[in-house]
Structure 1
Amino acid sequence: MKTNNRYIVTILVVGLGFFSNAFAQEHRKDSLSHYIQVAIENNPGVKSQSLVHEAFLEKIPQAGAFQDPELSLEAYTMPMEIVGGRSIGNVSLMQMFPWFGTRKAARTEATHMANMQDQQYREAVNNLILQVSTQWYTMQKLNEQLHNNEENKKILDQLEQLALRKFSSPSSTARPTPVPTVSSNAPSAPSASTASSGMGGMSMGSGSTTTPAASSSMSTSSGGSMGGMAGGSQSGMSEVLRIQLEIAEIENNMASLHSQIKAEKAKFNALLNREANQEVMLGNEIQKADFKYSEEEALRIIENNNPMLKMISEQGLAFKAKAEMDKKMSYPMIGIGAQYMLVGKTNNTMLAMEGMNGKDMIMPMVSVSLPLFRKKYNAQQKESELWRRSSEENFKNTFNTLKSEYYGFKSQLDDAERVLKLYEKQTTLAQTTYSLIVKEFITGKSDLSNVIQVQRQLLDYQLRKAEALANYNTMAVSIVNLLAYNR
């Protein structure tokens, strides 16, 4: 039974391999499957439940054992004269035997009770896997959001340098400035070959005079300034300060995410029974779990495989076996034994018998219990039957509850998938828009407010996409917890 118990856990872990991306490499230190194995081996709650199951296994031989035999000793301080000698003492041994089939029914009940604990152990493992997986996806979401903020900070740094060049470079020395890219997957912006014309005409002197052409050039270059100021050092510097404000906000977000990741890692390590500050390898990026179960297939697996339902089924079988045992206990018990009488020789010729004087005797004994009080036994059998019927109704109720949970998780899974597709599309569009708006900013066709607005939208879509992906994976693993799938 212990070997079978370990086998079930091994199959359970391997069965979660349907997460094709999250569980791709079993022995990688940054894979979820690796940490699940560590958690199952180290988690105190799972260990405790495993020991409870082993303790219930030890009840099986106890339930099938005979009652202890009864040994009685009698000794007389003054030997009593009897026919054929003098009685010195008696030694008797009696063993009671229950009615036929009683021990088998008791062992059956104990076996089903142990199986109940085995299912509770499986439920503890499933819940641990759910907790570890949920915590893992939470950390990956925060890590992805941190990465998005870092990438956007790099974009703002490039934008700041671009604004500084526009602010400080005179038109005669202005050179084309490359457009900052949002990521390797983002569409590249067209070359800013006309950047010099957009940055020309900025005069640092207060007493200089400008020609109409120069005035036109200044008007173009100041298109990104706040408040619509037409040229001058103040408008250029305001652009730089505006970008620095955005950078400061992102740096604050990054500091907050670092703090959240540290706290979530401490919770994760607690599930693995490790030190709170022990390093957790999260991998490169969060991946979408592959979930492909039809409604009919999922409900069938839940009904046949969920540990809670199996536990209730085993409970019902245990009550059925107990009812059978109570019925057998209402029959008489048979006792078989022997009594050994120590007899000494007597000097009384009247009591002495030729050939029998002082000879010890052995007397076989048989006893039968009389279960006359039938109300007690009838009530025991009725109690077990009521418990069995209660477990049947509990099975139906629990299955209905699990079905409701499945439909709830499935609805959230579908919603998360729709939202994920939306954010993926919006992120792609925002990346393209950002590349174009930066080009327009360089050429003076757009102001800085539009650039920052698009940059904020891009970051927002990236953060929401990571959150939607984590929600999708969490709902997927929640459904797998209901399925308790062990292929």
Structure 2
Amino acid sequence: MIKHIYINLNKLLTKFILAVCLLCFTANAQDLGTLKVKAAEHNLDLKAQFKAFEAQLENVTQAKSWQDPNLSFGYFISPIETRVGPQIARFSLTQMLPWFGTYKAKGDIASYRAEAEFEKFQDQKLKLYLDVAEKYYDLSALRYIAELEAEQLQILRDLKSIVESNYENNKANLVDILRVELLIDKQSSVIQVLKDQDQALVTQLNQLMNRQLKTPVLISDPKQILEQKEVVETDSISKNHPRLEAIRNLQESNKAESVLAKKQAMPQFGLGLDYAIIQDRNAMNADAGRDAIMPMLSVSLPIFGKKNKSRKKQASLQGESLQFQLENEETRLETEIQVAQYKQDELYSLLDLYDKQLLSLKDILQLSEVALANATMQIEEVLRLQEERLLYQKQRTLTLANLQKINETLSYLTSNSAL
């Protein structure tokens, strides 16, 4: 009686320890959303794209800045005699002013180009989320398959016990035992290969998050993650997708370039001041030695019209090119969505097929194990059925992972630039 109570206490203690370990593991598990945030914060490619946007943003300040004034100095080796004395040196200060609105047009061009660069950053961030999700679901599928392989290993060991019992009762041959042992060794090797593949996927996932490549990635329940049902609405493409918004900003920049081309065809104005230093050598003249100051106004003459026409034509051609790019990008997005939907429907059909096959195999295997124990069925047939079930289970797992990845792809294709 005391021994029975001791055994029950040991079982309860073991269950309690396992429950605590599972709770701690679940608490430390990393969900997909957390991994996406870490990747967005630390991924080097994304940081590089953001710095490119910031660099492009600096062009706005440069475009709106005035031209630097010109200051010149001249010294007469042979002084020029004037009425009030010899002129020995001259200072000139000139500031050019473009036609009204030129600086605004340049600023608009730089601003829209910076916004286009930001949309590229947004698109790259969404693609990074997609990459993280694909690696995450691949890792979840691999770990669930590893669980299935471990269950298969235990099934083979149980079958070995049945075959050994039949062999002792002269109901089976020694070769049957050896055949099961061979499969057990093979199954152990498969599990080890899966562990190596697991580390490779973990390394790829950590690289996306720019952290130590061997940092563990904890997934509490791979099967539950893969079984999640999430329907993505995909009636049409998002009109504000970053890939489209980037081109639209370039179109706005092109419109500003057209305005700039018209402004550059207008004259520029120059304001200046000349200061001449005159030496005092004429004591009889009251104005002797007085330096001369001369304000100046200059106007550029845009008489060579070919380059101005060329600028306008270039802006017009670029506008047509961008319009074609926008239409092509919209078609590409729509095509990618439809292809993803076709794959999604195909995967759902495969999933239904695997569920039906596994349900049928479940009943067959229950009967076959009973028949094997009664020595009315050969071990080869039971092993074949077990292999077939494992194959369907693995194919179903990969199908679930592909479904999750398709959902993530559709989420990317229908995203807004504001996300």
Matched, 1:119 2:58: no
**Gapped runs of 5+ residues in structure 1?**
1-26, 169-201, 203-231
**Residue 237 of structure 1 corresponds to which residue in structure 2?**
174
Q: CA deviation at 1:30?
A: 2.0
| Deviations 1:271-321 (CA, angstroms, capped at 9, x unpaired) | 22234333222332142454434442x42x1xx122221111111111111
| 1:307 aligned residue (237, 242, 248) | 242
1:73 Cα deviation from its structure 2 partner: 1.4
Write the distance in 2 (CA, Å) between the matches of 1:157 and 1:28: 33
Amino acid at match of 2:251: G
464, 475, 478: which one pairs with 2:406?
475
Alpha carbons of structure 1 residues 279 and 393: separation in structure 2 relative to 1, 3 Å: same
Q: Which residue matches 1:394?
A: 325
The number of aligned residues is 390
1:74: Cα distance to partner? 2.1
TM-score (norm 2): 0.87
User: Which one has a bigger Cα radius of gyration?
Assistant: 1
Aligned partners of 1:317 and 1:388 also within 8 Å: no
Q: Which residue of 2 aligns with 1:373?
A: 304
Between the aligned partners of 1:341 and 1:28, the Cα distance in structure 2 is 81
**1:97-135 CA distance string (max 9 Å, x none):** 110011000000001111111111112212222222112
Q: Report the AA paired with residue 202 of structure 2.
A: K
CA distance 1:28–1:91, change in 2 (3 Å): farther
Moved more, 286-295 or 266-275: 286-295
Alignment partner of 1:260 is 2:197: yes
Structure 1 position 60 matched with structure 2 position 65: no
Q: Which residue in 2 is equivalent to 1:439?
A: 370
Partner secondary structure for residue 90 of structure 1: strand
In structure 2, how many angstroms separate the alpha carbons of the residues matched to 1:28 and 1:73?
Answer: 73
What CA distance in whole angstroms lies between the structure 2 residues aligned with 1:289 and 1:389?
Answer: 45
1:73 aligns with 2:12: no
Tell me by how many angstroms 1:59 deviates.
0.4
Moved over 4 A (4+): none
C-alpha distance in structure 2 between counterparts of 1:377 and 1:69, whole Å: 25
One-letter identity of the residue aligned with 1:292: V
Cα drift, residue 368 of structure 1: 0.5
Aligned counterpart in structure 2 of residue 292 of structure 1, from 221, 231, 238: 231
User: Which residue does 2:267 correspond to in 1?
Assistant: 332
1:404 and 1:441 map into 2 onto residues whose CA distance is: 53
In structure 2, stretches of 5+ residues that fail to align are 1-26
1:453 aligned onto 2:384? yes
Counterpart residue identity of residue 397, structure 1:
N
SS in 1 for 2:226: coil
Contact 1:288 1:472 in 2 (8 A): no
Q: Is 1:430–2:366 an aligned residue pair?
A: no
Counterpart mapping for 1:335-414 below 5 A = 335-347=270-282, 349=284, 352=285, 354=286, 356-414=287-345
Paired residues of 1:332 and 1:368 also in contact (CA < 8 A) = yes
Q: Distance in 2 between matches of 1:394 and 1:308?
A: 10
TM-score, normalised on structure 1? 0.76
How far apart in 2 are the matches of 1:251 and 1:143?
15
Q: 1:288 to 1:385 in 2, by over 3 A?
A: farther
1:270 matches 2:207: yes
Q: By how many angstroms is 1:77 displaced?
A: 4.0
Quote the residue 2:3 is aligned against: none
Give, in whole Å, the separation in 1 of the partners of 2:304 and 2:147.
77
Structure 1 equivalent of residue 161 of structure 2: 161
Contact 2:282 2:288 in 1 (8 A): no
User: Identical aligned pairs, as a percentage?
Assistant: 27
Instruction: Tell whether the 8 Å contact from 2:75 to 2:88 is kept in structure 1 after alignment.
Output: yes
Q: Distance in 2 between matches of 1:290 and 1:88?
A: 89
Check whether the contact 2:232–2:410 (CA below 8 A) recurs between aligned residues: no
Q: 2 CA distance for matches of 1:450 and 1:165?
A: 18
Amino acid at match of 1:265: V
Q: Deviations over 1:19-48 (max 9, x none)?
A: xxxxxxxx9642122222222222221111
Letter in 1 for 2:361: A
Measured after TM superposition, the shift of residue 328 of structure 1 is: 0.1
Separation (CA, whole Å) in 1 of partners of 2:99 and 2:355:
72
Tell me the distance in 2 between the aligned counterparts of 1:132 and 1:116.
24
Question: How far apart, CA to CA, are the structure 1 residues paired with 2:234 and 2:205?
Answer: 32
What residue is the counterpart of 1:208 in the other structure?
none
Greater helix content: 2
Return the offset for 1:61.
Answer: 0.7
Separation in structure 2 between the aligned mates of residue 274 and residue 58 of structure 1, nearest angstrom: 31
> Which amino acid letter does the alignment assign opposite residue 477 of structure 1?
E
1:117-266 to 2 correspondences below 5 Å: 117-168=117-168, 202=169, 232=170, 235-266=172-203
Matched-pair contact (CA < 8 Å) for 1:289–1:476: no
State the alpha-carbon separation in 2 of the partners of residues 243 and 118 from structure 1. Answer: 61
Q: Are positions 1:45 and 2:45 aligned together? A: yes
CA distance in 2, matches of 1:288, 1:479: 18
